[in-house]
Chain A
Amino acid sequence: MHPPHSASPWQFSKLTAAILIGGAVLAGGLSTPVQAQSANVELLNVSYDPTREFYREYNDLFNTFWQAEHDQSVIVRQSHGGSGSQGRSIVDGIDADVATLALAYDIDALHDRADLIPADWQARLPNNSSPYTSAIVLLVRDGNPKNIQGWDDLVRDDVEVITPNPKTSGGARWNFLALWGYGLEKFDGDEEKTYDFVRQVYENVPVLDSGARGATNTFVQRRLGDVFIAWENEAILSLEQLGRGEFELVVPSLSILAEPPVTVVDANVDRKGTREVAETYLEHLYSDEAQHLAAKHYYRPSNPDILSQYSEDFPDVELFTVNDVFGGWREAQQRFFNDGGVFDDILEEINTQ
């Protein structure tokens, strides 16, 4: 393996030199950055998992819109991941111009933890700063073999439930709250019975993926579980694109209105001088063309007129909001999801029985 003396040192040094020079040339040649023309402006949109396809199209649309008025093109760079971890990246200093996350608490953190935005950020844009909304629904396998009709069926012993981990996934927190809200309704506000109900559902969960996308892969690709609690947009995407005819949508009688909000990150846009374009970028989400685009990606447009045009696409479901039932995201987070909260109690109880 290591023959001594045999080779001349020059051979070796030539090899080394070739490797080093080759590496340097490659790196140098390839890493020459494509200099942004001065006429361009760059934005960084830090977003959560299921918005990838939507923003990919919206960025083109916005660029066209902005170019028409300003003779300047906008290059929007995207970063996607679990909502909680994306919020953490912004707090830790990623240069985000706009944050488009899964739930208000993750954006609240930008104010609470790092003072990057004002406390009243959510009042700056219409509809609680949520240009599009979604609902939490159930996805089952074709033919609904386990005959799942609603939330009540999730506690059955023979049903395996797929949902991500609320500690890390924004969507999973909406799922949890949808379940809890339904429990409160069912048991007339009896917290103890609701707790037991939710606990029984989590007893049927075999996997807690860290993000919504991971959970979709588990259910769709790995065929694990009988029912998948999902964002409506993710569920329809799975129906339409991942496995035609392999799944069915089950709409529960009552669900939560999921409001993924957006905000400009004030500290960053002021430093970079991008406030105007960043604000326009978000405001334009409420334009008719963007609202249609949202609907195309299975998000419910916040504009009621446009929503009504798509009434066939979105199942009719009675929706409650986090503000109505839980008094807002700060309180919900504190009570359910922080360390030592209700979710931790449930896990501990399940695993120490």
Chain B
Amino acid sequence: MSITLVKRRVIPGFGLTIGFTLLYMGLVFLIPVGAFLLYTTTMSWEAFWSAVTQRQVVASYKLSFGGSLIAASINLVFGTLVAWVLVRYRFPGKRFVDALVDLPFALPTAVAGIALVTLYASTGWVGQYLDIFGIRVAYTQLGVVLALTYIGLPFVVRTVQPVLEDLETELEEASASLGADRLTTIRHVIFPALFPALLTGYALAFARALGEYGSVVFISGNLPFRTEITPLLIVAKAEQYDYHGAAAIGTVMLVAAFLMLLIINGLQWWASRRHG
């Protein structure tokens, strides 16, 4: 007992760092969020329930959650592919492409929204060709998914990439020398190693998409029941002085996001135990 205690205390600074961590988080974000939740509790349960289950609100959940789910799935597939290509293959302009992946982080969401709608509206560079096939992107649910995919893109790439880089090729070689074909190696060696990173990237892309506002408002039609995302509805409620309604819907979003992250962290912990 005393030995483990001593060993654990070799590294100093726990009190200082955890103290600062909690203080800063507390001031910037935990206390305000707590106060916000407290504010919601000043509503009666019936008022809260009716605010968060209005038909228009429920329709917006469907779009926000569904759209984020689709967007995160697209990012999971293509993000992993991009990470794989960037780590494993050589091709001209690779460094440029690698740097470019961060663009959705760097470009302000409002600019992204304006750029995307300029491209994909039926007058845009891409939209006019899609229009020939009768595909409308701007002002439809497809546009919402497009914007959400765009902003979530770096998350999967940037979480998978370092893990892939650190992955020892010896393992793959060993697997191959034991007679496994490439697909088997990918399934049994590479995939399990990537699994926690994939989950994290997916969760982050999903969570980020769920709350996105700036880029979506420009490209979605903002039509209640059809192309109205939940964050927009929150703004609309607040602008009609319905702070309680806005706070109630905001609370639902908060709780959903937090549950998501908690589940994913649990999964990651489980995965690292199983494969680590």
Contacts and interface: CB of A to CB of B under 8 A. Distances in A.
B121 A222 contact: yes
Nearest to B123: A223
B135 to A, nearest CB: 15
A339 B240 contact: yes
Interface in B104-126: 117, 121-123
Nearest to A169: B239
Query: Chain A at the B interface: mostly helix, strand, loop or mixed?
Result: loop
B223 interface: yes
Nearest to B139: A207
B261 interface: no
A205 B223 contact: yes
B236 A113 contact: no
Interface string A69-84: 0000000000000101
B221 A113 contact: no
B240 A351 contact: no
Contacts of A113: 241
Contact of A207 (B221, B235, B241, B245): B221
Nearest to A205: B223
A338 B240 contact: yes
B245 A339 contact: yes
Contacts of A339: 240, 242, 245
Interface residues of B, number: 29
A347 B236 CA distance: 15
Contacts of A224: 121-122, 138-139
B123 A347 contact: no
B119 to A, nearest CB: 11
Contact of A206 (B55, B221, B245): B221
Query: Chain B at the A interface: mostly helix, strand, loop or mixed?
Result: loop
B239 A208 contact: no
Interface in B220-255: 221-228, 232, 235-236, 238-242, 245
Given A84-B240, A88-B239, A206-B139, A351 B225 contact: yes
Contacts of B242: 339
Nearest to A207: B221
A109 B225 contact: no
Nearest to A343: B224
Interface extent on A, as a size class?
20 to 34
B217 A88 contact: no
Nearest to A112: B241
Contacts of B59: 351
A349 to B, nearest CB: 10
B224 A347 contact: yes
Nearest to A224: B139
B243 to A, nearest CB: 9
Interface in A302-353: 338-339, 344, 347-348, 350-352
Contacts of B56: 344, 347-348
A113 B123 CA distance: 44
Contacts of B138: 222, 224
Contacts of B239: 82, 84-85, 88, 167-168
A209 interface: yes
B162 interface: yes
Contacts of B235: 85, 168, 210
Nearest to A85: B239
Given A88-B239, A165-B222, A348 B123 contact: no
Nearest to B120: A222
A347 B123 CA distance: 28
Contact of B223 (A2, A208, A222, A348): A208
B95 to A, nearest CB: 13
A36 interface: no
Contact of A222 (B117, B227, B240): B117
Contacts of A350: 225
B165 interface: yes
A352 B235 CA distance: 24
A30 interface: no
Contacts of B225: 347-348, 350-351
Interface in A145-172: 165, 167-168
Given A207-B221, A222-B121, A88 B236 contact: no
A157 B242 CA distance: 35
A215 to B, nearest CB: 10
Interface of A: 1-2, 82, 84-85, 88, 91, 109, 113, 165, 167-168, 205-210, 218, 221-224, 338-339, 344, 347-348, 350-352
26 contacts: A2-B162, A84-B239, A84-B240, A91-B241, A165-B222, A165-B236, A167-B239, A206-B221, A207-B223, A208-B221, A208-B222, A208-B223, A208-B224, A221-B123, A222-B138, A223-B121, A223-B122, A223-B123, A224-B121, A224-B138, A338-B240, A339-B240, A347-B225, A348-B56, A348-B225, A351-B59
Given A91-B241, A113-B241, A338-B240, 17 more contacts: A84-B239, A88-B239, A205-B223, A206-B223, A207-B221, A207-B227, A210-B235, A221-B121, A221-B123, A222-B117, A222-B121, A224-B122, A339-B245, A347-B224, A348-B55, A348-B225, A352-B55
